[in-house]
Structure 1
Amino acid sequence: MSLLKRIGEPGAGVGVPPTPAAGVRPSAPPAARPATPMREPDQARVAEIRRKVQERLIETIDPRSDTNNPNLIQRQVDELLSSVLDSEAVVMSRSERARLLEMILHDITGLGPLEDLLADPEISEIMVNGPKQIYVERKGKLQKTTTTFLNDEHAMRIIDRIIAPLGRRVDESSPMVDARLKDGSRVNVIIRPISLIGPVITIRKFAKERITVDDLIRFGTVTREMVDLLAACIKARLNIVVAGGTGSGKTTTLNILSSFIPEDERIITIENAAELQLRQEHVVTLESRPASIEGTGEVTMMDLIVNALRMRPDRIIVGECRGGETLAMLQAMNTGHDGSLTTLHANSPRDAIARIETMCLMAGMDLPIRAIREQTASAVDLIVQQARLKDGSRKIVNITEVLGMEGEMVQLQDIFVFEQTGVDENGKIVGRLRPTGVRPRFLEKFEASGIYLPPGIFGSGDRFI
């Protein structure tokens, strides 16, 4: 069955001139409206034509037709576009027409105006603030785009296309949702009535090509000495927390750290929305699930961590600790699951310890603060602090060892730190990632695992970036 009703049928929107009655001399046809050439950039005209085509599509589309046939869809949308251009007496160049057709096809089968932004390799984040305002992050800086949705309904159709395959929903009763795209990019959606400006979509893009250690060194995120140390920490099965603010690159760093895990180990990943991209073959990926509309079927991060302990893991990787699951993560680290990894939001290694305490209390268990601190000091070996600097660059600014308890406090010791020395003429921050000269106590674990690092790695001079 055809996707669209035949042009010219009642309701199709294209009229057929009436046949004059017998014996009546037909009047002279009205003067044809002169064609209006399309000239770049006539964004308003393009938007108007696009709106009319989409309205006609909604009216004429057959829900029983095969919308998975791209050739059929393209041919029939092309036919409808031609009829609209003729009725509006608009002349477009071949390239302009092809571009408009592509935009309409994206609305039908893809993610609409987001498609081009997702395809741009320089864009790392997309922020939709209502249908008429879209910002992107390009090379660490926010920029407003000329791309827009037609209206709230247009944006909601794209949102439904994102979350429907994941079995999730968003409506007035549940106006917020986390989701992911096919490539693993993270998506957050919030709609009316919580959002007063209309649908708000935030997409954290994943790079098409996986970022490697050499890329991080080239970007100035780390030095070769820091990479050698972190690789040794993974192989020696140290428990590591990657801390940082929003958009600082925690997940990227977690992916890099996980690449050092040996191939012969069983890895279980636990996330709210699966986005980790591990390179190993033996990986089990678990994802939490929100409650259904009836309030049943919820599977929390804590449920998954507890269950993962029964799955014979060699490593447990928790994408991000946000609440009471942190206590379960610490208990896993303290019960023979060495080499575990996780991330959390914190502005410094000291803040990371305080955040762990707060999130453990969110588990609802009446534990004294000292007991939580002792658990933390025993479980966590290393804190990798990530930051996004004012110029948009992302760097590891601290590699900090957790020494243990001294009195009532968890003791920390910096092994590498970033020191800013100035700003160049292009506004880029200039600084150095330097070793502090302190030899970490976990070197004993390295030696027990047969891992030996060059003696000068902890104090062989500065590395300017």
Structure 2
Amino acid sequence: MTSTLLYFREQVLKNIDLERIDELKNQRESLLREVNDAIQRVMNNTGQYLSSRVCNCLSELIADEITGYGPLRELMEDESISDILVNGPDRIFVERAGKLELVDKRFISNEQLIDIARRLVARVGRRVDDSQPLVDARMPDGSRLNVVIAPVALDGASISIRKFGSGQRTLANLIEYGSMNEMMANFLVIASRCRVNIIVSGGTGSGKTTLLNAMSHYIDEGERVLTLEDAAELRLQQPHVVRLETRMAGAENQGQVTMRHLVVNALRMRPDRIIIGECRGEEAFEMLQAMNTGHDGSMSTLHANSPRDALARLESMVMMSSAALPLAAIRRNIVSAIHIVVQVSRLPDGSRKVINITEVMGMEGDNIILQDIFSYSAQAERSETGAIQGSFTSYGLLQRSTVYQQAIVHDMQEPLKQLFGNKLP
């Protein structure tokens, strides 16, 4: 049966009027009728016949393929799904509520899977073939697409899609989901308004960009903000925002614009704040320089398992740059540039939590001193539904806190004192 479907698919795609189909991409009923008519013509010409049920299924399949996503269309339209992971034509996984699950969708063959992958990357002016088997791109709706085909992929082509959510999460939403408590949210609001330099660290899919987006709502509307990203996910509401995005090299290996290029250029654009979607390489050196030269309130995310690991990873990324600095000088730069590290994590039950809000206090000898302001600790017992239970703890601010000094400068020391019960100096 699979060979018959493959044959009909191939014949329909060969004989269908593509110009007519392009006009019907947004009219699904008309598109299905057009595809069904094409299938009927193939049956009449070849003498092979399909049942009405199979014919309707094939019409749906070809219509979905023509419009772009093939059997992934329904998954792309499902708001509860955050990631779609295709491991060859027969195994499609999705992530819902932080958990992976296998779905009953499949491709007819690996050839159909590769054809759809090629159409998707062609939409954004890219190509995937034997000479370029790896492609990373951003779809027109903002979703992040990664495609791997043979000879790199051994068990069939692989497609990974990180969907671009339609709704914005606020700090109030994160409180509602149990990711943080109200006191932590209020502290992050004050820190954002006081132009504290913040790093959000965590693992893949832990909610780093979501939290960064939520904190960005509290940036003053009078500030000029530049956002620099590999794939545009930040959605700031301020009136004076300039959005920049990196660019991969083209077919002739030219035209690449790296994050480091964007950071260097951003410094010439008179920004008040620079927000880097993710810091992952040698651009870390320029980012620290920006934070150290008057661009207070800058923010970024990076991958790390704890606040201390985040700073250690920053050290490594600075060493990747051409700046031949001793380790002590790199650490001094980090201490003067970074004020707050917010650690987020996706727990085994699929929930996302703010595990630590940690302040960088300074250096003692050759070591960076960190002080937790808030932390989350899990309990041994789980709820009846299997959810991890735990509690958030507040440790307050120390007398030499940079956050408190910034609050004084921005006339927000009183809200900060009320937050911590007037226990500040």
Name the CA shift for 1:52/1:279 in 2 (closer, same or farther; >3 Å): farther
Match of 1:447 among 385, 405, 408: 408
The code of the aligned residue for 2:407 comes to: F
Match of 1:140 among 50, 75, 98: 98
Name the CA shift for 1:204/1:224 in 2 (closer, same or farther; >3 Å): same
The code of the aligned residue for 2:386 comes to: G
Match of 2:299 among 341, 347, 350: 341
Tell me, in whole angstroms, the C-alpha distance in 2 between the residues paired with 1:90 and 1:66: 24
Name the CA shift for 1:130/1:385 in 2 (closer, same or farther; >3 Å): same
Tell me, in whole angstroms, the C-alpha distance in 2 between the residues paired with 1:251 and 1:398: 16
Q: Do 1:398 and 1:414's aligned partners in 2 also have CA atoms closer than 8 Å?
A: yes
Name the CA shift for 1:49/1:207 in 2 (closer, same or farther; >3 Å): farther
Q: Deviations over 1:164-211 (max 9, x none)?
A: 233233332332222122321222222221111222111112222222
The code of the aligned residue for 2:174 comes to: L
Q: How many residues align?
A: 412
Q: Deviations over 1:215-261 (max 9, x none)?
A: 11111011111111111111111110000011111111111111111
Q: Is residue 413 from structure 1 mapped to residue 366 from structure 2 by the alignment?
A: no
Aligned to 2:384: 425
Name the CA shift for 1:402/1:347 in 2 (closer, same or farther; >3 Å): same
Tell me, in whole angstroms, the C-alpha distance in 1 between the residues paired with 2:52 and 2:131: 46
Q: Is residue 68 from structure 1 mapped to residue 30 from structure 2 by the alignment?
A: no
SS in 1 for 2:211: helix
Select between 308-317 and 436-445 the one with higher mean Cα deviation: 436-445
Aligned to 1:396: 354
Structure that is richer in helix per residue: 2
Name the CA shift for 1:458/1:103 in 2 (closer, same or farther; >3 Å): farther
Tell me, in whole angstroms, the C-alpha distance in 1 between the residues paired with 2:19 and 2:41: 23
Q: CA deviation at 1:447?
A: 1.9
Aligned to 2:11: 56
Tell me, in whole angstroms, the C-alpha distance in 2 between the residues paired with 1:53 and 1:232: 62
Aligned to 1:251: 209
Q: Do 2:146 and 2:160's aligned partners in 1 also have CA atoms closer than 8 Å?
A: yes
Tell me, in whole angstroms, the C-alpha distance in 2 between the residues paired with 1:355 and 1:155: 37
1:24-423 pair list within 5 angstroms: 50-62=5-17, 67-70=22-25, 73-82=31-40, 87-92=48-53, 100-422=58-380, 423=382
Q: CA deviation at 1:134?
A: 0.7
Tell me, in whole angstroms, the C-alpha distance in 2 between the residues paired with 1:110 and 1:236: 45
Q: Which runs of 5+ in 1 are unaligned?
A: 1-44, 461-465
Name the CA shift for 1:152/1:309 in 2 (closer, same or farther; >3 Å): same
Tell me, in whole angstroms, the C-alpha distance in 2 between the residues paired with 1:155 and 1:146: 16
Tell me, in whole angstroms, the C-alpha distance in 2 between the residues paired with 1:295 and 1:53: 38
Tell me, in whole angstroms, the C-alpha distance in 2 between the residues paired with 1:282 and 1:260: 14
Tell me, in whole angstroms, the C-alpha distance in 2 between the residues paired with 1:459 and 1:390: 34
Tell me, in whole angstroms, the C-alpha distance in 1 between the residues paired with 2:58 and 2:71: 11
Tell me, in whole angstroms, the C-alpha distance in 1 between the residues paired with 2:179 and 2:262: 32
Tell me, in whole angstroms, the C-alpha distance in 1 between the residues paired with 2:421 and 2:197: 24
Select between 212-221 and 160-169 the one with higher mean Cα deviation: 160-169
SS in 2 for 1:442: helix
Q: Deviations over 1:314-349 (max 9, x none)?
A: 111111111101111111111111111100000000
Name the CA shift for 1:116/1:321 in 2 (closer, same or farther; >3 Å): same
Q: Deviations over 1:128-160 (max 9, x none)?
A: 111221111112111111111222222222222
Tell me, in whole angstroms, the C-alpha distance in 2 between the residues paired with 1:327 and 1:417: 29
Q: TM-score, structure 1 length as denominator?
A: 0.83
Aligned to 1:435: 394
Tell me, in whole angstroms, the C-alpha distance in 2 between the residues paired with 1:153 and 1:395: 41
Q: CA deviation at 1:98?
A: 5.6
Q: CA deviation at 1:64?
A: 5.8
The code of the aligned residue for 2:113 comes to: A
Tell me, in whole angstroms, the C-alpha distance in 2 between the residues paired with 1:171 and 1:278: 36
SS in 1 for 2:243: strand
Aligned to 1:25: none
SS in 2 for 1:161: helix
Aligned to 1:9: none
Q: TM-score, structure 2 length as denominator?
A: 0.91
Name the CA shift for 1:393/1:85 in 2 (closer, same or farther; >3 Å): farther
> What percent of counterpart residues are identical?
46
Tell me, in whole angstroms, the C-alpha distance in 1 between the residues paired with 2:57 and 2:272: 51
Name the CA shift for 1:348/1:270 in 2 (closer, same or farther; >3 Å): same
Q: CA deviation at 1:63?
A: 5.3
Name the CA shift for 1:50/1:453 in 2 (closer, same or farther; >3 Å): farther
The code of the aligned residue for 1:61 comes to: I
Q: Do 2:341 and 2:358's aligned partners in 1 also have CA atoms closer than 8 Å?
A: yes
Q: Do 1:180 and 1:187's aligned partners in 2 also have CA atoms closer than 8 Å?
A: yes
Q: Which runs of 5+ in 2 are unaligned?
A: none
Measured on the aligned residues, the alpha-carbon RMSD in Å equals: 2.2
Tell me, in whole angstroms, the C-alpha distance in 2 between the residues paired with 1:219 and 1:356: 30
Q: Do 1:49 and 1:84's aligned partners in 2 also have CA atoms closer than 8 Å?
A: no
SS in 2 for 1:113: helix
